[in-house]
Amino acid sequence: MKRLPMLLGLVLAASIARAAPPPNAAPAVQQFTLANGMSLIVRPDHRAPTAVHMLWVRVGAMDEVDGTSGVAHALEHMMFKGSATLKPGEFSERVAALGGQQNAFTSRDATAYHEQVPAERLEAVMALNAERFASNQWPDIEFTREIEVVKEERRQRTEESPRARLFEAFNAMVWQASPYRRPIIGWMSDIDAMTPQDVRDFHQRWYVPANAAVVVAGDVDPQRVREIAERTYGRIPARAVPARKPRTEPTQQGPRRLEYRAVADQALVVLAWHAPRYSGNDDAASRDALALAVLSGVLDGYSGARLERALVQGQGTGGQRIADSASSGYGLMGRGPQVFTASAVPARGVTPEAAMAALKAEIQRIAREGVSEEELQRVKTQWTASEVYKLDSVFSQAQEQGSYWVNGLPTDAGERLMAGLRAVTAEQVRAVAGRYFTDRTLNTGVLVPEARAAEGRP
């Protein structure tokens, strides 16, 4: 069974198949604001004696400026390299000694640090995180070593993959003004030029209590967690969150096309259209966003969905296989604007243009003919069946709450979102298929295989 995009999966997880709480019961998720402005979100789950702690900072690649792309991700690495009282590497050693596991990630919209520990060790983990949040410190030599790790990560994930390089170049074409145009890991030239002070300045500017949230899920008592949070995080001095400039993406007024030539075994085509994001409000944009999410599910939300049947299995095309694989995707939520994508790997003997035409034809068919109620319900049932199992993961419970907070949504956003998705009608899906997928706003990317690289190219 195909999985929904990660963010959509997370935001659905808490809302499915959950019984209503008894009258006057404490809410399943409780949110507090510490004295210094930091948010605290607690979700009890007493099925196992474990707790997940996540520290979310509402800063990611979109908050960088040209010339320092990748600094948010570099800072994520350096947060493990010491503080006023912790030596380089000591944070990870202490978490391991507590019987815990830890990691972190950076996205366009946020940076998050997470640990899973025995529930009785939660206070020690919170104290460690509060210390490094408030006083991240390390010698320059640690940065010099770690930035080489970041460079190698970029080489392995992007530069050694023709498809990854295509998507990076394509993304820079799709967005003109939005900071989403820069890669999260950063351009290699920016990583090469990055200095220790660039990272320190980014930490000083954005790691502000009012720009962060602590999320705790597991075998915990909310009031007890609140007391611990005030003793640890609450001691960090309050500071104002820096103002953010809008950097609004201009309306696209004509089609754009990118051909990326590289040594590759197969071609790849990707189409993208600008689309609204879900804000949680009951407005036209959010209603369209929900319908677009359902449309993506109809196209590629389960095994044997429309793109697989039409392009991969050849149903409806005279038995001809158009693609070895085909998919669609839609971000739904984010701090910035979103896009709807469709992609395919053309089958042997099929041109990229034919694959692109087939992708567009499936969307156009829905715009003309709509979708059946049976098809619509299958998509919604698939969501329910796949996402209910995530309730067994305490980590997923914490991660979805952090995602809500980053996007300015309430703790019950999952219930609201699922109710909205269940209410989407076949007519709404047909309508958005007809309105958003015009050539005027189309972005096309093609990976063109070459037998060998041209001089000066990978």
Do the domain assignments include residue 379?
yes
Contacts made by residues 128-132, CB under 8 angstroms, sequence distance 24+: 128/86, 128/91, 128/94, 128/95, 129/53, 129/55, 129/214, 129/232, 129/233, 130/232, 130/233, 130/235, 130/236, 131/83, 131/84, 131/85, 131/86, 132/79, 132/82, 132/83, 132/86, 132/91
pLDDT the model gives residue 5? 37
103 and 210 in a single domain? The answer is yes
Mind listing the pLDDT tens digit for each residue in 354-410? 999 999 999 999 999 999 999 999 998 877 766 677 777 999 999 999 999 999 999
pLDDT the model gives residue 74? 98
pTM of this prediction?
0.92
Find the CATH number of the domain harbouring 376.
Answer: 3.30.830.10
Do the domain assignments include residue 350?
yes
Average pLDDT (189-202) is: 98
293 and 382 in a single domain? The answer is yes
* Residues known to be catalytic: 76
201 and 296 in a single domain? The answer is no
368 and 443 in a single domain? The answer is yes
CA distance 433 to 362: 10
pLDDT the model gives residue 414? 87
Domain count, the chain: 2
Mind listing the pLDDT tens digit for each residue in 31-54? 999 999 999 999 999 999 999 999
437 and 314 in a single domain? The answer is yes
